[in-house]
Chain A
Amino acid sequence: MQPMFKWKTDDFSWVDFTIDVLRVIIVLGVVIGAWNTLSSGRISFAQWVNLFAAGLSQGSIYALIALGYTLVYGILLMINFAHGEVFMAGAFSTVFLAEALNRTGFLNAQPLLAILLMIAFAGLVSMSVAILLERIAYRPLRGSPRLVPLITAIGAAFFLQYTFRGLYGSGFKAYPGVHALQGAIEIGGISIPVVQVFVFCAALFLMLCLYWLVERTRIGKAMRAVSENKEVARLMGIDIDWVIMFTFGVGGFLAGSAGVINGLFRPQGVNFYMGFIPGIKAFTAAVLGGIGNIPGAMLGGLFLGVIEAIGPNLVLAGLGIPGANQLKDVIAFTMLVLVLIFRPQGILGERLSETKA
């Protein structure tokens, strides 16, 4: 920890000082809020556990999206701002498939198979969007200054949003309910909805698959090599363009499957704008865990989900702010800003080679 008051030394900087003051204010706010809430006993232990579980499920969805940011950042050092829209593409397209499956009765007759089909479909749709995005928008800009691809990505994000708005209409859609996922599991007097358990397990499974892909397969090795040093990787006979495309594809697939999983968890609110906020939050998760770092993104996602679920009730309500749950997004975005200010390298640290960071 740096000393808080440095004005007697020569390198006094009031910017550092302001940031330190900010740090103290935030810590104080969190402590006071949490203390007030906990001492008032408004929320029982079981409720805390429920909030925590819901946070974990939501967080696992963020984690899936965050992996896409991290994978791309690890290789190209660019923030693929349109990644939230890739998530939206899969989720929005698959609503129609889910409705069709529901109407034939297949969704409830064979829930597991139906969900697998949905995940595969959403994943492939998102994957195509991500690959097209890379091919058309990002590839021509490789090697340009960092802000150029970022502005492009912002443009691409809005372009994708309004393309899907045009294609599928601007109304809200909803995923049909799956009977097998309704109900709750009782553990020691605490009941946790089945869907939350399912969401968490499904996301975890996908993340393990990704980990295996990156760490244990040939193409994973190529991905790591490209992220280490593109030129040397090229000299080793790795087709860089293909690896980058593959990376975008994998990230897209995970985002699309996150779209379906999100649809099971929160069936309502599927429309063209659904990807923007989760996209920013997933980016927060990726930075939180250390961008470029795959386990970091998973951890960051879970962490953010939990903070977002518990934070409003614990801190904001404790500070006497009314309608604390409305401010859930504010918590997440504040997290984003705080992480970027105080620990841009994330919890686990960025995993980038020295030449890049």
Chain B
Amino acid sequence: MNMLRSQRARTVLTLGLLSGAFILFIGAVGMIAAFQEREVVDDVFSLGQLLLVLAPFATGYIASDRLRESEAEAQVMIIGGVAVGLLTALPTVILLLFNSAEYRFLLDLTLKLVPFVVATIYAVRLHRIGSDQRLIIGSWLAIVVLVGIVTFSFALIFEIKGDLRTVLPNISRDWVDVVTFDHRNELMTGIFTLLLVSAGAGAAGSIMVLAPPIPRKALLYGLGVTLIVGAFGETVRLILQENVDRDTLKLIFRRDTLRQNPALLLFIVSTISGFLWAKFGQQARLGFSNLEPSRRRAVNGVGMLVFAGIMLMLPWLIGRTLSDVAVTIGIFVLMGLGLNIAIGLAGLLDLGYVTNYAVGAYILAVLTSIGPLGRLDGVFTFWMVIPVALLAAMCAGFVFAVPVLRMRGDYLAIATLGFGEIIGKLAISDWLKPLIGGAQGVQAIPKPIFLGIELKNPEELYYIVLVASLVTLFVSIRLNNSRTGRQWMAIREDEDVATAMGIDTSRAKLLAFTLSAATGGVAGAIFAAKVGTVFPNSFTVFISINVLSLIIVGGIASNPGIVVGAVVLIGLPELLREFSDFRFLMYGALLVIMMIKRPQGFVPSKLVSHEIRTGVKAKMAAAD
């Protein structure tokens, strides 16, 4: 019984402190304050506050779920949820106290005590496992000195600087406002509110676990839909703008935020529909699978047709601003599909993909520009240059691929990264300035003209991206099932074995690099035509990382995964502008989390997930 209790306590403590650290972290890097700008429901709550509530809610849910596994009673689960909520708020509360003028002494005191506390805890642990006395005293002293240096330095910094904010700019008034729910001046009230809200959210999480499944699903669905619509209020408004008249729009939105009554209505409607789905969804699915094959195919076909229709009509459904986002997403889909040939199919981790993108963009820029750097006076049009850009990128891909053919995987990654950096530095250098304009880049790139119509708006450019993506998709699907595709797969699995099987690895690898470069070149050319100017700052290592992230998150070697990855990773920061400051924070975290938890991606390719599973099994067998 006692062991069970301590195990439960540990679950609650770990989860609570983890989510507490999360809240503290996103506060300290400025996410909470930045998201405060975006209200989810008018005058009710904002995205920043939503995060503060969502974290204890989710953790409370998870904690209660774990507690239920250990057959805890209802009240234990609710107590657990409350405890998780309080723990979630705890680190933030401590930082609030440290940050305030009256309780500053706590910070000084903590910094003085921490070395001794840490050292003593460690010494006690050493004592428990029966280390000898000299080791215990020695490590106690060493830890006191080492941790002491750090805390002493921090104390000195804060002493001289006077304020936490001078060092940590995001522990700002805005942050204090959000976490105290606008009780900046009555700190204790604010802290109390925070603790209360957090504990309440944690308890609500546990109650969710206790609720019967159908209402729970309905409620979660309703909440989810409402919050997502609210958070993406601007996007939703932009879409509605195209299809609904102004007065109705005004009833629903105040500028970009959802008004209260529509939000309530949306919540009710989506909860009811969620309820209906939870209740009858199973039957509907069963009914569908019981249909005759021909009928089922017909239903599927209609679905596909509707989807294709939506994709075709998309720019006219979503308006100009969102079409622009769609074009950006499309460019990244294109690059994702291209890089996937190297990374996903052939297993070559190319970190210099931006090279091809830059080559395509610069070729288009220099050949078609009507500005001072385009010396050809617009003789070439967009359509004539696209194949040139494609070929040029292929050549670049080929040239950069030859030297790295013999390298092993990790060195290849770093070498391609080096190529990317070299290209970036050359583009910005004075040496090539007469040709490609140095830091100012190339301006005045004309828009493509199709059948006499200038495709100057994103709505029209969308179709170019769509066609290019479809072509690439087709090619990459065909490649995947071709002889070459199988060769790549063999190389990905084991290069030595592939060679032994008689595969010309040099040729196959070169082909992978060149084909993947071609797509990058086209993407670059479309990008150049879209933006109208090309300058070196658009071509940094971040582009490569962007593309890599969307492949990894979507699913290596999975075409639908890449599309999903691009929509989420590129679309999200464009739609939630507050987010874009944190996009690389998110990408970095996602790469780490995906590699640890879900290396096959969110929409995995069947083959790869099979391989990973068997691979893990083989690894475990080898470890035994």
Contact = CB atoms under 8 A, between A and B. Distances in A.
Nearest to A101: B156
A52 interface: no
A340 B67 CA distance: 53
Contacts of B418: 280, 333-334, 336-337, 340
Contacts of B157: 96-97, 100
A322 B430 CA distance: 6
A341 B149 CA distance: 44
Contact of A166 (B30, B410, B591): B30
Given A154-B548, A166-B582, A280 B623 contact: no
Contacts of A161: 584, 588
Interface stretch (A53-61, A140-148, A179-187, A233-241): A140-148
A240 to B, nearest CB: 13
Interface string A21-38: 010000000000000000
Given A150-B410, A321-B431, A337-B403, A160 B169 contact: no
Interface string A85-99: 000000000001101
Interface in A167-219: 167-169
B413 to A, nearest CB: 6
Interface string B410-426: 11011101110110011
Nearest to A77: B410
A22 B596 CA distance: 40
Interface string B601-624: 000000000000001000100010
Given A96-B157, A124-B146, A327-B425, A337 B415 contact: yes
A120 B615 CA distance: 44
A323 B426 CA distance: 11
B29 A167 contact: yes
Interface in B135-177: 146, 149-150, 153, 156-157, 159-161, 167-170
B506 to A, nearest CB: 5
Contact of B169 (A141, A143, A169): A169
Contacts of B541: 276
Contacts of A144: 599, 619
A13 interface: yes
B429 A159 contact: no
Contact of A152 (B410, B419, B591): B591
Contacts of B411: 287, 340, 344
Contacts of B417: 280
Contacts of A283: 414
A121 B407 CA distance: 39
B13 interface: no
A326 B149 contact: no
A151 interface: yes
B160 A104 contact: yes
Interface of B: 25, 28-31, 146, 149-150, 153, 156-157, 159-161, 167-170, 347, 349, 351, 402-411, 413-415, 417-419, 421-422, 425-426, 428-431, 506, 541, 545, 548-549, 552, 582, 584-585, 587-592, 595-596, 599, 615, 619, 623
Contacts of A101: 156
A158 B409 contact: no
A147 B349 contact: yes
A96 to B, nearest CB: 5
B590 A100 contact: no
A159 B585 contact: yes
B450 to A, nearest CB: 39
The residue among B153, B351, B419, B596 with the most chain A CB atoms within 10 A of its own CB is B153
Contacts of A125: 150
A330 B592 contact: no
Interface of A: 13, 15, 18-19, 22, 78-79, 96-97, 99-101, 103-104, 117, 120-121, 124-125, 136-137, 140-141, 143-152, 154-163, 165-169, 276-277, 280, 283, 287, 321-323, 326-327, 329-330, 333-334, 336-337, 340-341, 344
A280 B30 CA distance: 29
Contacts of B30: 166
A79 B168 CA distance: 31
A341 B404 contact: yes
A318 B476 CA distance: 46
B349 A333 contact: no
B28 A280 contact: no
B206 to A, nearest CB: 28
Nearest to B407: A340
Contact of A280 (B414, B545, B585, B619): B414
The residue among A150, A277, A329, A337 with the most chain B CB atoms within 10 A of its own CB is A337
Contact of B588 (A78, A120, A157): A157
A121 B150 contact: yes
B413 A330 contact: no
A276 B429 CA distance: 20
23 contacts: A13-B506, A99-B161, A104-B160, A143-B623, A146-B410, A147-B409, A150-B409, A151-B548, A151-B591, A156-B591, A157-B588, A158-B591, A161-B588, A162-B588, A163-B25, A166-B28, A321-B431, A326-B430, A330-B426, A333-B421, A337-B403, A340-B404, A341-B415
The residue among A79, A97, A333 with the most chain B CB atoms within 10 A of its own CB is A333
Given A146-B410, A168-B167, A100 B425 contact: no
Given A147-B413, A158-B585, A326-B425, 16 more contacts: A19-B406, A79-B414, A100-B156, A121-B150, A124-B150, A152-B592, A154-B545, A159-B589, A166-B30, A166-B582, A280-B417, A287-B411, A323-B430, A327-B431, A330-B422, A340-B411
Given A323-B431, A330-B422, A158 B587 contact: yes
A349 B402 CA distance: 24
Contact of A337 (B28, B153, B419, B623): B419
A149 B410 CA distance: 10
Contacts of B548: 151, 154
B543 to A, nearest CB: 13
Nearest to A324: B431
Contacts of B582: 162, 166
Nearest to B590: A155
